[in-house]
Structure 1
Amino acid sequence: MVTTKSGNCENMKLAVILVNYNGKKYNTACIESILANVGMEELKIVVVDNASQDASMRLLEEQYAKDGRLEFIRLDDNYGFSRANNEGISRAKAWGADAVVLLNNDTEIASDMLSRLWECAGRHPGCMIAPKIYCGDDRKRIWSAGGSVSPIIKKVRHIGLDEADEGQYDRETEIRFATGCCLWIPMSVIDEAGTLDERFFLYYEDTEYSFRLCKLGIPIYYCPKAVMYHKVGASTKGADSPLCAYYIARNWLLCNRLHLGGRYPLFLAYYALNRTVCCLLWFVQGKKELVRATLRGVGDYRKGRFGRAERY
């Protein structure tokens, strides 16, 4: 498997995995941007549907019925982001893919993003890679230029979030956290580290996977020449929703319990203060449903209830 001087990726099989849940509004733009990518000779797009109710899968199957580059997997229920991606990874492995790209369907990618990621993979073999991600509604404003992790309680943040791009994040560099909005993962990494943890259902599965790779000594790189655009919050109704409040409250606890070791009690003190402040603000603002969702998330964590929550 080599990359030619012209940027073509010869003898390399790449599978892009899209998880769909009522994504009719976004799917076509995302898929067309993938198909427009240059230099990818063997490309497969695997669309995994979490039992959508908006006819989005029927429309895609009709629209791309004659395009052999697309495959569709219909799940019989909404099993969440992790399970759906894992189903796609399994299909990609059966096809013989050398690498997968996990990509949110509420995105559009630049016409050379996949080849740029592949070039970066050639410089850093056996690594997970993240692109530069701009906000979909302002294509000069950064949403993520990789991610960092605080040293004690392992709190993650997006580097460059909401900053205007003035070239300050144009250096290819190793990072500690990569958002699940777009991840390049070689099959060799999946063989060693495994797939996404399905207990998370939604949120923090990317954080946990990043932490897992770091524990195994598998580097993560940020590739600024690979560019894409994200319609932030389109698939989950935004950060200010009960769904988001619930899964963040529950999954943040689970993720850090798995990876903090002896520092976990210190994290719990920070977590209690952080969530208490959020709940007080929401209560004052009249957003009591967010308070209830947070308390349910904490309660379900303590009871060991993971995966999909019935209320959300």
Structure 2
Amino acid sequence: MKLSVIIVNYNVKHFLEQCLNSVHQATQHVDAEVWVVDNNSVDQSVEMVREKFPEVLLIANKDNPGFSVANNQAIKKSKGEYVLLLNPDTIVEELTFKKVVDFMDAHSDAGGLGVKMVDGNGNFLPESKRGLPTPAVAFYKIFGLAAIFPKSKTFGKYHLGYLDKEETNEIEVLSGAFMLMRKKTLDEVGLLDETFFMYGEDIDLSYRITLGGYKNYYFPETRIIHYKGESTKKASVSYVFTFYQAMIIFAKKHFSLRYASLFTLLINFAIYMRAGASIAKRILNRIFFPVLDAGILYFGFYMIKQYWEQTWLIPTGSYYPPLYLHYIVPIYISILLGGVLLTGGYDKPYQVPKLVKGLFFGIITILVMYALIPDNYRYSRAIIIAGTFWGFISLSGYRFALQLAGVSAFNNEEARKNRIAVLGSIEESNRVAGLISNMKQTSFIGLVGLDEQDRKQENVIGLAAQLQDIIRVYSIGEVIFCAKDLSAQHIIDQMIQLQDQGVDYKIAPQESMAIIGSNSINAHSDLFMIEVDSVSKPQNKRNKRLMDIALSILFLLTLPIIIWMVKDKLGFIKNIFCVLFSRKTWVAYYLGSIDQEVKLPNLKKGVLNPGNAFTKEDLSDDTLSRLNLLYSRDYKITTDLEIIWKGFSFLGN
């Protein structure tokens, strides 16, 4: 046996399926065995492997012992001359295994090998080649010197930026996403250190390989797609903490006491710095434009008040008291911007129509309140109207200016993203196009054929060789590759060639309803059934939460009357407080069918589900699954209200 491929999986069934499809193709060129170690996934990963890949050697753990333990389980049972640790969120080229095994055979000094990795848009991943994170290297990275001078031999050691990414080179650290090692080397230096639960174990083992007298190589003559981070959210504070704690374990194990203490100090500083920066950035992103809008509106109200006062009031011996500017105007502005918030005016991308709609909603609210407040607080309605008009002009104006300047937060790419090209055979492209058209409102779906015969088919807009021109002429925003018809090498070639087109790329695996993609190197991969996420859109999430709160308060106020309409009265009271404190929501999915093929956006546990709208019917799990899908895809507040009305007696469930 030449090669043992080991994949540790945790709740990424669809990524694992696509990975195993590519591994199956690659093992046609080398004598290999494939191991999958599942760490107690709940997404039917084990069942999928048993059903679709019966030849795979499967270890199904009953708990999650961690990445290192799981890999070691399979390594100990493996029979290959070489062992490859492979992430489930990867796709390998058809000749990847043959090329890397041939290289190792030709280089007896090689203990480990990594390959060129690209993300889901074809962008090179710098962690394909890394240096040892000594205290100095860690310092340069933490304080940004590595980013400022990436090609420096002094400051750029973390990602070895001074080495050509297209050339084979000796490196210090391999990436755990693709880590090929000689079994003989592992027998000598030991397996993965099980002290590391996740992260750091690849650095530790890479270092021990070099200490054992072997070399690690970066080998760019084959490539893999690494979607990066479906299993973990790498931008989160918890990821930063876990990753850097792993670095501390590494330092204490391999560095002197003095170096380890210095390294630990740096790492702890980095944790708090990154966490603080992450929180500050999140807050700033949320409040910057509302605060800017408030300032612009206040300036307008102030200038209008000054003009109005000097032109009409002062000559008559009157003026506005300080109360007006200090309290009344801020209240006006809060109501106006509250309207903008509720209509989605602060959801990215920022859109002028939503702003206008929100300001209109706000001024109507102010004028209604104006008629109800005491006379001594009723200041000029003309100023209210003029101030709001100033808001329409000024806030819309700077949004248009930023949109013309190309600021991404103000550019609405939805129209372009709804123009999709599907690349593959006519039969498979039509299957994928059918999925898209059934579950996503698109302005255009064009098929891209593979040969001249395809050009004559309906809806074919060109051939694969013309893809760059097709994207430009038809203003395509998303290209979906049919994995059934296209090799991984061809897909990666296309992604890299079209990097500057500003297009999203996704892959439709054979016989699957899932479509897999990665929008950027900084975003964790997204796996979805096209557009089932209406319920997770910011405006809908906000409105759903407001409805939950409003209904909970209403139910509390009317409890002595309505409690007699509910079957489980104690459960109803408990549910009111659970929803009020965000532990539940009044309506969510039917959980009995939540393990469906389609991955739906996350919702809190619901008191009711879409099936409660049909209380007199006995619905099958398949029907309830479809109702879940429709609920997620076509979500509206009125849908929740209808379900609650029809299933009111079950609010104590």
Q: TM-score, normalised by structure 1?
A: 0.78
1:184 matched residue in structure 2: 180
Which deviations, in whole Å up to 9, do the C-alpha atoms of 1:248-286 show, x marking residues without a partner?
Answer: 232111111111214223223322332232132134246
2:262 matched residue in structure 1: 266
Q: Which AA in structure 2 matches 1:13?
A: K
Is the alpha carbon distance of 1:28 and 1:117 closer, same or farther for their aligned partners in structure 2, counting shifts above 3 Å?
A: same
1:84 deviation in Å? 0.7
Quick check: 1:134 aligned with 2:134? no
Conserved in 1, the CA contact under 8 Å of 2:111 and 2:209?
Answer: no
**Match among 49, 73, 76 for residue 87 of structure 1:** 73
**Match among 6, 14, 20 for residue 31 of structure 1:** 20
2:101 matched residue in structure 1: 118
2:84 matched residue in structure 1: 101
RMSD value over aligned CA atoms? 2.2
| Map 1:215-294 → 2, pairs under 5 A | 215-236=211-232, 238-261=233-256, 262-285=258-281
Q: Which AA in structure 1 matches 2:243?
A: I
Quick check: 1:146 aligned with 2:123? no
1:78 matched residue in structure 2: 64
The alignment partner of 1:141 has SS state of coil
The alignment partner of 2:234 has SS state of coil
Conserved in 1, the CA contact under 8 Å of 2:6 and 2:75?
Answer: yes
Is the alpha carbon distance of 1:226 and 1:144 closer, same or farther for their aligned partners in structure 2, counting shifts above 3 Å?
A: farther
1:151 deviation in Å? 5.3
**Match among 195, 218, 223 for residue 191 of structure 2:** 195
Q: TM-score, normalised by structure 2?
A: 0.38
The alignment partner of 1:180 has SS state of coil
Distance 1:195 1:29 in 2: 27
Q: Which AA in structure 1 matches 2:8?
A: V
The percent identity for this pair of structures is 26
1:158 matched residue in structure 2: 159
The alignment partner of 1:105 has SS state of coil
The count of aligned residue pairs is 263
The alignment partner of 2:31 has SS state of strand
Q: Which AA in structure 2 matches 1:14?
A: L
Which has a greater percent of helix?
A: 2
Is the alpha carbon distance of 1:145 and 1:160 closer, same or farther for their aligned partners in structure 2, counting shifts above 3 Å?
A: farther
Distance 2:37 2:134 in 1: 36
The alignment partner of 2:199 has SS state of coil
1:49 deviation in Å? 0.5
Using the TM superposition, name which of 242-251 and 183-192 deviates more: 242-251
1:100 deviation in Å? 0.9
Distance 2:214 2:190 in 1: 12
Conserved in 1, the CA contact under 8 Å of 2:132 and 2:172?
Answer: yes
Distance 1:242 1:20 in 2: 23
Q: Which AA in structure 2 matches 1:84?
A: A
Q: Which AA in structure 1 matches 2:201?
A: E
Conserved in 2, the CA contact under 8 Å of 1:14 and 1:44?
Answer: yes
Q: Which AA in structure 1 matches 2:105?
A: G
Using the TM superposition, name which of 23-32 and 266-275 deviates more: 266-275
Distance 2:75 2:46 in 1: 19
Which has a greater percent of strand?
A: 1
Is the alpha carbon distance of 1:38 and 1:22 closer, same or farther for their aligned partners in structure 2, counting shifts above 3 Å?
A: closer
Is the alpha carbon distance of 1:276 and 1:44 closer, same or farther for their aligned partners in structure 2, counting shifts above 3 Å?
A: same
Q: Who wins on radius of gyration, i.e. which is larger?
A: 2
Distance 1:260 1:246 in 2: 20
The alignment partner of 1:127 has SS state of strand
1:210 matched residue in structure 2: 206
1:152 deviation in Å? 4.5
Conserved in 2, the CA contact under 8 Å of 1:153 and 1:260?
Answer: no
Is the alpha carbon distance of 1:58 and 1:264 closer, same or farther for their aligned partners in structure 2, counting shifts above 3 Å?
A: same
Q: Which AA in structure 2 matches 1:158?
A: H
Distance 2:65 2:238 in 1: 15
Distance 1:255 1:86 in 2: 18
Q: Which AA in structure 1 matches 2:168?
A: E
Is the alpha carbon distance of 1:192 and 1:154 closer, same or farther for their aligned partners in structure 2, counting shifts above 3 Å?
A: farther
Instruction: For structure 1, list consecutive stretches of 5 or more residues without a partner in the other structure.
Output: 1-11, 162-166, 288-312
Q: Which AA in structure 1 matches 2:118?
A: Y
2:385 matched residue in structure 1: none
Which deviations, in whole Å up to 9, do the C-alpha atoms of 1:34-78 show, x marking residues without a partner?
Answer: 11116634211100000111111111101123x3xx110011101
